[in-house]
């Protein structure tokens, strides 16, 4: 089997690459290295890296040639960046996705698996989030992700390309880059905890997220690529538990055995308050079973960085 991973030099994509190579797939990666890094692919010596942009439709078609499955991970992933630069994130996150779908249709790729997001749910206070709820995104990023998902669904109906959309909740684990102001909160907190730098919480710290360890997310991707009869479907990928940022810091303080008093700053525009996945659809239809919980995952992350 041949797989293309767009964004495969990034955090999640490189872990998918590693797993696919172990399972005997031939793996190609398309990545513009904007946030991804060559070194993320060091554990994937068999992967072929093509440095290029998903906005380049000709290139996307070229790299898709001969692939049985595409994992479309490439995106600008930051919610606040999308609030500040909505045109740029539109171009990558919507046009880039459309280019992948055009390529899949033209090159007769069997299945496309899409990295969608819990950000599509927006501010509807009802919890947990179920896939049957009407999306109401409150950031350009959330709009872009649900648009991508709608395109996938249409492709599954119109052009014989099988598609599966995975609505990731807050993913964390080794190789998530902590260095940008836009990085995922766990990567920032762990980096700062281990280097003794101050930690800032935006808002009162009572906002909550369904944090999901990378191994669970890779498992969901493999299932989404290989389970028959699920084309056109969307699935939540979380753990089904939520943790506030204040609680997260307490767990981290315990694991690292350091006091981690945060400072509090103004909340971020476009931030959602609470996020929690109902994962029963993924359990039933994909056999998804997130085995690694927050504390075990945090411990694995901290140990990998020590
Ligand atoms: P990441 O930034 O590590 O990975 C994204 C990758 O895409 C990077 O390697 C980057 O260089 C590449 N990329 C960006 N723009 C590109 C372009 N125009 N052309 C080619 N490559 C490009 O982030 P990640 O956390 O691994 O995210 C992977 C996917 O999962 C993204 O689609 C993101 O929106 C989605 N997602 C992530 C989370 C999370 O919590 N990390 C949650 C929900 C959804
Ligand atoms: C994250 C992902 C997004 C994904 C979404 C799905 C990243 C960068 N973003 O968005 O791609 O689609 O989950 O649920 O991976 N915070 C602090 N201090 C910090 C950094 C963040 O308090 O130093 C707060 C934020 O204000 C927010 C929470 O932590 O309330 C989580 O932020 P972040 O990790 O950026 O994730 P999301 O915005 O939830």
Give the Å distance between the CA of 137 and the centre of ligand 1. 19
Q: In the prediction, which pLDDT does 136 show? A: 93
What does pLDDT average to over the chain? 97
Q: Give the whole-angstrom CA distance, residue 7 versus residue 36.
A: 7
Cβ-based burial of 127 (10 A; exposed 0-12, middle 13-18, buried ≥19): middle
Give the Å distance between the CA of 229 and the centre of ligand 2. 33
Q: What are phi and psi of 145, to 5 degrees?
A: -70, -40
Q: In the prediction, which pLDDT does 306 show? A: 85
Q: Are 105 and 91 in contact (CB under 8 A)?
A: no
117 CA: nearest ligand 2 atom: 12
Q: Are 30 and 60 in contact (CB under 8 A)?
A: yes
Token digits for 278?
Answer: 């109902």
Q: What is the DSSP string of 153-192?
A: HHHHHHSS-EEEEEEE-EEE-TT----STTS-HHHHHHHH
Cβ-based burial of 223 (10 A; exposed 0-12, middle 13-18, buried ≥19): buried
Each residue of 260-301: pLDDT tens digit? 999 999 999 878 899 999 999 999 999 999 999 999 999 999
91 CA: nearest ligand 1 atom: 18
111-117 vs 211-213, strand pairing mode: unpaired
Block means of pLDDT (10 residues each) for the chain, length 306 residues?
A: 98 98 98 97 97 98 98 96 96 98 98 97 93 95 98 97 98 94 93 96 98 98 98 98 98 96 93 94 98 97 94
The secondary element (H helix, E strand) that includes residue 274 is none
Q: Taking Cα atoms as reference points, which of 198, 169, 178 lies closest to residue 272?
A: 169
CA atoms within 13 A on the CB side of 146: 16
Q: Give the whole-angstrom CA distance, residue 67 versus residue 98.
A: 17
The packing angle between helices 57-64 and 96-106, to 10°, is 40
Indicate which residues carry an active-site annotation. 141
Kindly report the number of other CB atoms within 10 A of residue 153's CB atom. Answer: 16
DSSP structure class, residue 9 = T
Kindly report the number of other CB atoms within 10 A of residue 100's CB atom. Answer: 30
Residue 213 pairs in a beta bridge with 172
- With 0.95 as the threshold, say if the pTM is over it: yes
Q: Give the whole-angstrom CA distance, residue 264 versus residue 141.
A: 25
Q: In the prediction, which pLDDT does 123 show? A: 81
**Ligand having the closest approach to the CA of 53:** 1
Give the Å distance between the CA of 184 and the centre of ligand 2. 5
CB-based pocket (< 6 A), ligand 1: 7, 9-13, 30-36, 53-55, 73-77, 92, 96, 115, 117, 168, 170-171, 184
């Amino acid at each position: 089997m041949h797989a293309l991973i767009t964004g495969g030099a990034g955090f999640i994509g490189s872990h998918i690459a590693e797993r696919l190579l172990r399972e005997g797939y031939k793996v190609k990666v398309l990545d513009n290295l904007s946030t991804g890094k060559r070194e993320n692919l060091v554990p994937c010596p068999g992967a072929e890296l093509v440095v290029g942009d998903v906005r380049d439709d000709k290139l996307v078609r070229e790299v898709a040639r001969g692939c049985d499955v595409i994992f479309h991970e490439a995106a600008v992933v930051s919610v606040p960046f999308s609030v500040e630069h909505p045109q740029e994130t539109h171009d990558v996150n919507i046009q880039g996705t459309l280019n992948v779908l055009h390529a899949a249709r033209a090159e007769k790729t069997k299945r496309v698996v899409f990295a969608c997001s819990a950000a599509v749910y927006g501010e509807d206070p009802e919890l947990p989030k179920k896939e049957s709820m009407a999306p109401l995104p409150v950031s350009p990023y959330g709009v872009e992700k649900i648009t991508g998902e709608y395109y996938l669904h249409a492709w599954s109906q119109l052009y014989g390309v099988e598609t599966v959309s995975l609505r990731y909740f807050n993913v964390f684990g080794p190789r998530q880059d902590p260095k940008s102001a836009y990085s995922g909160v766990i990567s920032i907190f762990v980096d700062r905890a281990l280097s003794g730098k101050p930690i800032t919480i935006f808002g009162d710290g009572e906002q909550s997220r369904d944090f999901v360890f990378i191994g669970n997310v890779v498992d969901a991707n493999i299932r989404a690529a290989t389970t028959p009869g699920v084309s056109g479907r969307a699935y939540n990928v979380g753990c089904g538990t939520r943790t506030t940022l204040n609680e997260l810091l307490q767990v981290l303080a315990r694991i690292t055995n350091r006091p981690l008093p945060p400072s509090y700053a103004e909340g971020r525009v476009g931030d959602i308050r609470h996020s929690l996945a109902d994962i029963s659809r993924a359990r039933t239809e994909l056999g998804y079973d997130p085995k690694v919980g927050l504390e075990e995952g945090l411990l694995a992350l901290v140990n990998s960085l020590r």
